[in-house]
Each structure stands twice: as C-alpha cells, then as structure tokens.
Amino acid sequence: MEKVAILGAGTWGTALANLLARSGHEVALWSKFEEEINVLKSTHLHKNLPGSVISKAIAFFADMKEACEGKSIVVFATPSVYIRQTAEKAKPFLKSNQIIVNVAKGIEPKSLLTMSEILEDVLGKDFNYVSLSGPTHAEEVAIGLPTLIVSACQNPKIAQIIQDTFSNQTMRVYTNPDVRGVELSGALKNIIALAGGMSDGLGYGDNAKAAIITRGLVEITEIGRAMGCHEKTFFGLAGIGDIVVTATSIHSRNHKAGYLLGQGRSLEDVLKEVGQVVEGLYALEAAKELEVKYNVELPIIDVVYEVVHDHLPVSKAIQKLFSRKKKDEINDPIFTEDDAMKEN
C-alpha cells in the first residue's frame, strides 16, 4: 500500500482520496482553506459531491508540510490556474524520491506549459512526473461507479506504479508514454465541451452535438500532431473519451457553462450559477496562442473564444462555422500522410 498526499480538496481531489482510501492506501488530503478542512473532518461530506460519504480513513490537513511528509506519491489536484502557486508552496517539503502526479487539466497562457511541465518548471527535473487523465467525473468516482483513466509518464515503471496504485474494482487504469498529448487533450476538450453546451443551450439536437465532438477531436488532434504528440492518444481515453463525457454530461461544469451562454446569459451570470472553476474558459487564451504558434486552423475553438472574449452571440458563432469554405473530410490535412508531425 502507498502513502499518498492529495493537494486540493475540491471535487476531484476528494473523489480520488475516497477512491484510494477504499483501496486501503494511507491518504492525506490538503486544502489551503482551514475552514474547508474542518468541514470535511467534522461532516465527512463534500457540498459538491452529493450522495458521497468521505472515508473516515482519510487524514485532513491545512498544513502543507504535514500533508506531504513521508508520502511516496504527491498528487496535485487544484484547478489549473493554481497549480504553479501550489507547487511553489509544496516545494520546500518535497523529496526527489516522491512521485509527482498531476490531475489538473489546463495549459498556462504565455508559457504554453502543460500542468506537469509547470510542476517540473517549479520543482525541477529530479522528480518523476505523471499525468492522470481521462473521462472521469468526480461525482461518479467518489461513489465507486466504473471508470477508466490513463497514467501518462515517459518512464514506464513509474507509470505502472501509478497504474497499480489507482486501480481497483471500479477504476481501470491504462498507461501511456505521451504525457504532452494526454495533457493537451485534457485541456482542450473543455473548450469543445463549452461548444457542446452552447449547442444544447440553443436547442439544437444530437446531430449538432455529434458534429461538435467529432470536428472538435479533429482540431485537438491537429494541434497535437503539430506539437509532436502521438495521434493514437487523441483517439483514446484521454482524447475522445474525455471529450464525450465532458461535452454531454450533466456533471460537466464546462457543458453547463456553455449551455447557459447558449441561452443568452452573460458570462458573469454563468460563472455565478456554475459556482466552480470552469477550466475551458481558462484554456481559451492558451489555445489561441498555440493556434498562432503552430499555424493550425481551429474553427470551433475560435468561435468559442469570440463568444467568451468578444461577446459574439452564440447563434452568429454557429453561422460562422456553417459559412466556412467547404472541405473534403478524408483529404483534410490532418489525415494526410505527408503532413509530418512537427517537433516543438
């Protein structure tokens, strides 16, 4: 059994803590908010995980040193916008023999670093870094519903350690060496989920949703290939799997935010009603920067950006997509063999 620290007591961090505790691992769950820790300690309930009782085997900490000390695995589970500052806070208490796991989904604007790249930037190259990602709604994982996920690491032995640690009768974990592709998928699928929600908010049907998911996957794959990622990653759990669950589920914050925008609600009202971090909104700036840097075409991501940042009405965004130049699906550059992957 492993000793695991989870940094971040949001829905995903808490759900993973519950999963690991049920498997018999020694788990410490940290939050910088002492009040949040006190509520979890006293009630063993999480306000955003209805129907889930938090395991009494979990130790709760508001002190970073106490949470990280003596652990073999340290999991960063804060929202993507807080990963860098959480790593800086944890750095004095981490040792190079610990495995660092990222479960956040995002890309840092300006630097264009993925989450595990941010962790390496702050903590250094002496650690083994793993990204754990896939179609995994916290609400389902917390209560033990069947789930599949990917442990991504360039070191196969370390990927397998995380695979073994997180696998149980309800969680099946695959390994994948393409860390960048897995993390890119996790970040950009949230934008496609916003688009799917907008479609539903406009009252469109399953045909439109299927088109958004399919063409959205094409966009993510195109930028991934330009960045040197493995194409199969985007057709696996961290790619198409995560897009489907995030673009269709009632649990998805990104889908809900898109739905409300599609109904004509202001961004301010949307954020207030969702009440939690909407990762797709934070990923938009970096996605646009990647589009320019790698000279690729991302029309769905473009119109979502315009809706959010330029106040383009959602109905006009759809019109922009339908008025684009007609194309051949099979001979789209993404599917041609002579469009070789470009290294970053």
Number of neighbours of residue 272 by Cβ within 10 angstroms: 11
> Residue 278: what residue type?
V
Q: Cα dihedral angle (219, 100, 90, 186), rounded to 10 degrees?
A: 20
Q: Kindly list the catalytic residues.
A: 189
Per the CB < 8 A criterion, the answer to whether 136 and 147 are in contact is: yes
Instruction: Specify burial of residue 4 (Cβ count, 10 A radius: 0-12, 13-18, 19+).
Output: buried
Question: Closest Cα partner for 76 from 87, 85, 64?
Answer: 87
Per the CB < 8 A criterion, the answer to whether 245 and 137 are in contact is: yes
Question: Closest Cα partner for 152 from 198, 114, 189?
Answer: 114
128-133/99-102 β-pairing: parallel
263, two tokens:
């109904």
Greatest Cα-to-Cα distance within the chain, rounded to the nearest angstrom: 60
DSSP annotation of 332 reads S
237 contact partners, CB below 8 Å, separation of at least 6: 134, 135, 148, 149, 150, 174
Tell me how far apart the alpha carbons of residues 274 and 258 are, in angstroms, rounded to a whole number.
Answer: 10
Tell me how far apart the alpha carbons of residues 62 and 344 are, in angstroms, rounded to a whole number.
Answer: 39
